[in-house]
Amino acid sequence: MNKPIRRVSVFCMLLVLALMIRANWVQGLDASALNANVHNKRTVIEAYSYPRGDIIVGGQSVTKDLLVNGNYYKYRRAYLNGPMYAPVTGYSSQAFGSNLLENVEDPILSGNDPRLFFRNALDTLTGKQKQGGDVVTTINPKVQQAGWDGLQGKKGAAVAIDPSTGAILGLVSFPSYDPTSIAGVTPDFATNWQKLTTDPSQPMLNRALRATYPPGSTFKLITAAAALETGKVTDIDAPTDSPDPYILPGTNNQKLVNEAGDTGCKDATMNAALAMSCNTVFGKLGAEIGQQRMLDEAKKFGFNNSSLDIPVGVTASNFDTNMGPAQTAQSSIGQFDTRATPLQMAMVAAAICNNGTLMKPYLVSEERSASNSVISQTSPTELSQATTPDVAAKLQTMMVNVVQNGTGSTAKIPGVQVGGKTGTAQHGVNNDQNPYAWFVSWAKSGGKQIAVAVVVEDSDTSRGDISGMHLAAPIAKNMMEAYIGN
Amino acid sequence: MTTVESRVVACAPQGPASVRRNTELSLLVFAALVPVLAYAETGLAMDGRLPAGMLGYGLGLGSFVLLAHLGVRRFAPHADPLMLPIAALLNGLGLVFIWRLDKARELHPNFPAAQNQLLWSGLGISLFIVVMARLKDYRRLQRYTYLSGFAALVLLALPAFFPVRAGDFGARIWIHLHGFSIQPGEFVKILLPVFFSGFLMVKRDALALASRRFLGLYLPRGRDLGPIVVVWALSLLILVFETDLGTSVLFFGIFVVMLYVATERTSWVLSGVLMAGLGFWAVARTEGHVRGRIEEWLHPLAAAPGAGVGQIGQALFSLGAGGALGTGLGQGHSWLIGFAAKSDFILGTIGEETGVTGVIAVLVLYGLLAERGLRTALAARDPFGKMLAVGLSAAFALQVFIVVGGVTGAIPLTGMTLPFVAQGGSSVITNWALVAVLLKISDLARRPAPGEPLQPGTQP
C-alpha cells in the first residue's frame, strides 16, 4: 500500500507547488497590470491619502484639501471660487476622475513626478508625510474676475492672453460648476455629477478651450492679413473694387449681403470695410486670394492645429481644406465650416498686437515642489510668425479704427490704445437661432499688453441688439482695463 | 533527524514519554511567539501602539498550545512533533489577520470576529485534547464505519433542508440555528475518511483483483462499480441541491484518492476523474450558480456596470498589491474584498500584507502538514490506519488547493475556508480534531513494539 501513498504524497506536493506558481504569477507577473486596473480602488485611495499640491492663481491657492477621514479616503479636494476657476483647475474627484490641470499636472500635484523622487525619498526617510507639489498658473485674478462678472447671466467664454509671452491671463467659461460639488464619493456628489452631466446648458463644458464657434466677422482679421501679405491690398485706405451685394463666384446669383445694410460698403477701403464689417469686401478678397492661401494664413494664426496643449489640450479650430470659391468667400468672413475656440481668436488678436509673432499660449508658469523649490519654469516660446511686422502694424491701425470709429466703440478705454473687431456669427439652420456675439481685441499701455477674445452664445437680449458691440465688447473692455489699469 | 530520534528511542526504550516532545515544545514557542509579534506589529502599524489585548492574547494562545502539548505528551507521546506546532502557528496567524480585518472600519458590515475565533480555537484545542485522551486506539473507529458513512450523509444533506439566507452567497452549506451558523460539510471531512477506510478495507481485494483488461487498462467489473457510482451520484446531488462545488469536489477527491491507495490501480483514478469531469461539466452547463462561478473564474476582472469587479477580481487586486514583500501588516486595503474577507478570502489579506513571500510561507506550512500526515500513513502498520491517515491528509491538502486555487483565480472559486486560518468555528474545530486523529495514528505508528527495542534507522 505504500507505493500509492508515496504517489499521493507527490500529488499533494504538486498541488502545493501549483499554488505557489500561481501565487508568483498573480503577485509577480500580473501585479503591475492588476495595480493599474481601472477598477482597482487602491490607486485612488492612495492618491487621496495625503494632501495634493495646490493650484495657485495670483499668489493664492485656489485649491485645498479637506481632511475628511472618510471611510475610504482621508482627504478630499475642495476649491476656492470653484465655478470661476473651474475652466482652469478642472476637477479632481474620488469618484469621477479628473480633468484639465488637475489631470495633466497630476504628477506634480500628486508628488509622483520623477523629478520629485529625491525629495520623496528624503521625506520617507525622515518620516514626513508625502505631499504634492504646487502648480502656479499665469491667470490674473482681476482679469478672470472681470470676465466672470461680465458673463453672468449669459452663456459664453472669455480668454485673455499676454501677447508678448503667450501667458494666459484669463480663462472664463459660463455657465460653470463648482468642482467641490463633485469631489467626493457619497450620494450627494453623485447626484451633483448626474445633474451637471445631464444639464442641457453644459456647465462642465470648457467653452474657452473645448468649444468651437463660427468666428463670424472676427475672422476678417485673418482675411485682411492674407490680403496685405499677398499684395491684394497694399494701401488700407485705398478703395477696393467691391460690389454690394457680392454675387458668390460660381453660383447662380447667390448674394453675399452686409448686415449693416447700404452704408457704404461698395468699393470701401479695407480700413473702412473692417470698421463697418463689410461681408462683401472680405468675402470677395477671400475668394480672390484663394482657398489654399487662406488656409495657409489661418494655419499661421493657429487654426487646424490639433496638437496644441497649454498644457491642457485645446480643441483644434477649423478652416476647411477643400472648398470651392463660394465656400472660400463665406469661410473668409467666418461662416460656412469655419470654427474657432475663444482661445484661438485671442491668439489672433495677440499675434497682431505682438507685431505678427504668435507666442505659444501657456497656463502654467511654474511647477514647484512641496517645499517651494522651483522644479520647472515655462519660458515663452514662439508658436509661429503669423504675419509680418509691417502687415501687423496695418492691422493694428485698422483695429484701432474699429474701436475709435466703428463697431467696436464700446471697448474704448480712455488713455489706452485699444484695437478690436466685432463679430456676429450666424447660428442654427437658416440663421434661425440667436447668433453668436464676438469681440476680439487687444490693448497696450505703458509696456503692458493684453489680447482678449469674448464670445457670448446667447442671452436674453432681444435679437436685434445682439452684436459683438453690445454683448461682447464691454466684457473685453473690463478685462483689458482690469489688467492695464493695475 | 531519523538517526537522532532513533538514538533517543534506542537509548531509552522504556524511558519517560519524551520522544521528540521537547522538539515539539521548542517549535511551539515559536509558533506562539510569531503570531504574538505579528499581533504587535499590526497594532503598531494601525494605531501606533501595542494592542491592548496583547498580553491576554499572548497568554491565551500560549496556554492553549501548552495544554495541547501536554495532551500530546500524556496521551500520544510518540506522535509526530511537527503537526501541532504547524497547526498552532496557522491558527495564531489566522487570529491576527481576522483581528486586523476586525479593525478595518471600511469593511461594512463588520462584526468583530477575532474574539469568537479565539473562543472557537480554544474549543478546537479542547476537542483536540479530548480526542487525545478518549481515543485510546483509533482502530476502534473501524467499528463505526457505516455509522460514520450515515452521519456524513445526513450532515451533507442537512443544509439542503434549511432555508437559504441572503448572506450565504448562493451556496447551501450552512445550517443557521439561533444565531449560530454551522457548516456541516466541515465535519464530513473526518467522517468520510473513516467511512471510506472501513469500507475499502473490506472491499479492496474485490476491487483490486477482479477487473478486466481493456486497452491496456484494468477496468473494474460492473458490479464493483456500484459503490463508485453511488458516491459519484451523491457528490453530484450535493452540487445540484446545495450548489456547492467545493464540498462536492472535496468529497469525491477524497474518495478517489483512497480508492487508489486501497486498490493500487490507476484505472480507478482515471475512471473516477473521468466520471467527475463529465458530471461536473453537465451540472455546470445546466445549473446557474455553478455556471456563474465558472464565468467569474474565466473573467475575474469583468466589471458589472457601476459596481466594479467581483470578489475574485478584488482578491486578485489584493494579491497584486502585495507584490513580493507585501504592504506590511495592517497597511493593506484587502477590506475592498468585502463579504467573506475574513473567511473564504482571508488569503487575500495574507497576500496583500505579507506579499508572495507570506503566501508561500503559508503554503509551505500546509504542504508540510499534509506531508507529515502522509508520512504517518507510510509509517502506520495497519491498513486501516494507513487509509485513514491518507484520507485525512488528502482532505486537508485538497481543501487547501480548492480554496487557495479559487482565491488566486487558478480554479473556479468555491466557498471553503482556509484550514486553521479562516474565520469559522466549524472549520477550526474540525481541523483540530483532524490533527488529533492524525497524531494518534502517528503515535501508534512510531511507538516501539512492546518488548522489542528498535533498530536504528527503522523508525520514521
Residues A197-202: contacts with CB under 8 Å, at least 24 apart:
A201/A155, A201/A175, A202/A175
Give the pLDDT of chain A (486 residues) as one tens digit per residue. Answer: 789 999 999 999 999 999 999 999 999 999 999 988 888 888 888 888 888 999 999 889 999 988 888 778 889 999 999 899 999 999 999 888 899 999 999 888 988 888 888 877 777 778 777 888 899 999 999 999 999 998 888 889 999 999 999 999 999 998 999 999 999 888 899 999 999 999 888 899 999 999 998 888 889 999 999 999 988 888 888 888 888 788 888 777 777 777 656 577 888 888 888 888 888 888 889 888 888 988 999 999 999 998 988 899 999 998 888 888 888 888 888 888 889 999 999 999 999 999 999 999 999 999 998 888 888 889 999 989 989 999 999 999 999 988 888 777 787 888 888 899 888 776 655 555 667 888 999 999 888 899 999 998 875 555 554 577 778 888 998 999 889 875
Question: A28 vs B323: CB contact, 8 Å cut-off?
Answer: yes
- Which is nearest to A316 in space by CA: A296, A339, A350? A339
The DSSP 8-state label assigned to residue A380 in this structure reads P
Domain coverage including residue B6: 2-446
User: What is the tally of structural domains in chain A?
Assistant: 1
Q: Per residue in B102-150, pLDDT tens? A: 988 777 777 788 888 888 999 999 999 999 999 888 888 888 888 988 8
**Who has greater pLDDT, B57 or B268?**
B57
Alpha-carbon radius of gyration of chain A:
28
d(CA B248, CA B348): 24
Residue B33 lies in a domain: yes
Domain coverage including residue A329: 212-365+380-484
Residue B454 lies in a domain: no
Whose cell is 462683401? That residue is A280
Residue A445 lies in a domain: yes
Q: What is the pLDDT of residue A322?
A: 83
Q: What is the pLDDT of residue A234?
A: 85
- Residue A158 pairs in a beta bridge with A172, A454
Residue B457 lies in a domain: no
- Which is nearest to B436 in space by CA: B197, B190, B147? B190
* B window 352-391, beta carbon within 8 A of A: 355-356, 359-360, 363-364, 366-367, 370-371, 374-375, 377-378, 383, 386-387, 390
Q: What is the pLDDT of residue B11?
A: 39
First to last CA, chain A: 99
Q: Are strands B217-220 and B303-304 parallel, antiparallel or unpaired?
A: unpaired
Mean pLDDT taken over chain B:
83
The DSSP 8-state label assigned to residue B300 in this structure reads T
Q: Does position B219 have pLDDT exceeding 70, yes or no? A: no
Residue A35, classed as helix, strand or coil, is helix
Minimal C-alpha gap between B358 and chain A (Å): 10
CB contact at 8 A, B265 and A9: no
Minimal C-alpha gap between B405 and chain A (Å): 6
Residue B453 lies in a domain: no
Of these ranges, A451-455, B44-48, B167-171, B274-278, the one predicted with the greatest mean pLDDT is A451-455
User: Amino acid identity of A484?
Assistant: I
Q: How many CB pairs under 8 A join A and B?
A: 136
Residue A80, classed as helix, strand or coil, is coil
Residue A91 lies in a domain: no
Q: What is the pLDDT of residue B210?
A: 65
- Chain B positions in Cβ-Cβ contact with residue A31 (cut-off 8 Å): 319-321, 323
Q: What is the pLDDT of residue B17?
A: 43
The residues, any chain, with a CB within 8 Å of residue A410's CB and separated by 6 or more, are: A469, A470, A473, A474, A477
* 3-class DSSP string for A104-171: HCHHHHHCCCHHHHHHHHHHHHHCCCCCCCEEEECCCHHHHHHHHHHHCCCEEEEEEECCCCCEEEEE
Residue B46 lies in a domain: yes
What would the mean pLDDT of B292-320 be, rounded to a whole number?
84
Q: What is the pLDDT of residue A431?
A: 58
Minimal C-alpha gap between B147 and chain A (Å): 26
pLDDT-based confidence at B306, cuts 50/70/90?
Answer: low
Helices B425-446 and B184-209 sit at what angle, rounded to 10 degrees? 40
d(CA A53, CA A162): 26
User: Amino acid identity of B236?
Assistant: L
For CA atoms A397, A400, A402, A405, give the dihedral sign.
Answer: negative
Helices B383-407 and B311-322 sit at what angle, rounded to 10 degrees? 90
pLDDT-based confidence at B366, cuts 50/70/90?
Answer: very high
Residue B277 lies in a domain: yes
- CATH assignment of the domain containing A225: 3.40.710.10
Question: B408 vs A28: CB contact, 8 Å cut-off?
Answer: no
* B window 261-320, beta carbon within 8 A of A: 261-262, 264, 301, 303, 308-309, 313, 316-317, 319-320
Q: What is the pLDDT of residue A180?
A: 93
Q: Does position B24 have pLDDT exceeding 90, yes or no? A: yes
- Tell me: cis bond preceding B109? Omega within 30 of 0 counts: yes
Alpha-carbon radius of gyration of chain B:
22
d(CA B118, CA B341): 18
User: What is the tally of structural domains in chain B?
Assistant: 1
Q: What is the pLDDT of residue B12?
A: 38
User: Amino acid identity of A192?
Assistant: N
- Compute the residue count for chain B: 460
Q: What is the pLDDT of residue B6?
A: 43
Residue B61 lies in a domain: yes
Residue A309 lies in a domain: yes
Q: Which segments of A231-300 does DSSP mark as H helices, in order? A: 270-276, 279-289, 291-300
Minimal C-alpha gap between A202 and chain B (Å): 23
- Chain A positions in Cβ-Cβ contact with residue B370 (cut-off 8 Å): 12, 16
Task: Write phi, then psi, for B450 (nearest 5 degrees).
Answer: -60, 130
Residue A154 lies in a domain: no
- Number of CB atoms found within 10 A of residue B209's CB: 10
Catalytic residues of A, by residue number, are 217
Q: What is the pLDDT of residue A374?
A: 87
Residue B439 lies in a domain: yes
Residue B238, classed as helix, strand or coil, is helix
Question: A37 vs B301: CB contact, 8 Å cut-off?
Answer: yes
Q: Per residue in B377-427, pLDDT tens? A: 999 989 999 999 999 999 999 999 999 999 999 988 887 889 999 988 889
Q: Exposed e or buried b for every residue in A130-148, given b needs 16+ CB within 10 A? A: bbbbbbbbbbbbbbbbbbb
The number of angstroms, rounded, from the C-alpha of B188 to the middle of its chain's C-alpha atoms is 11
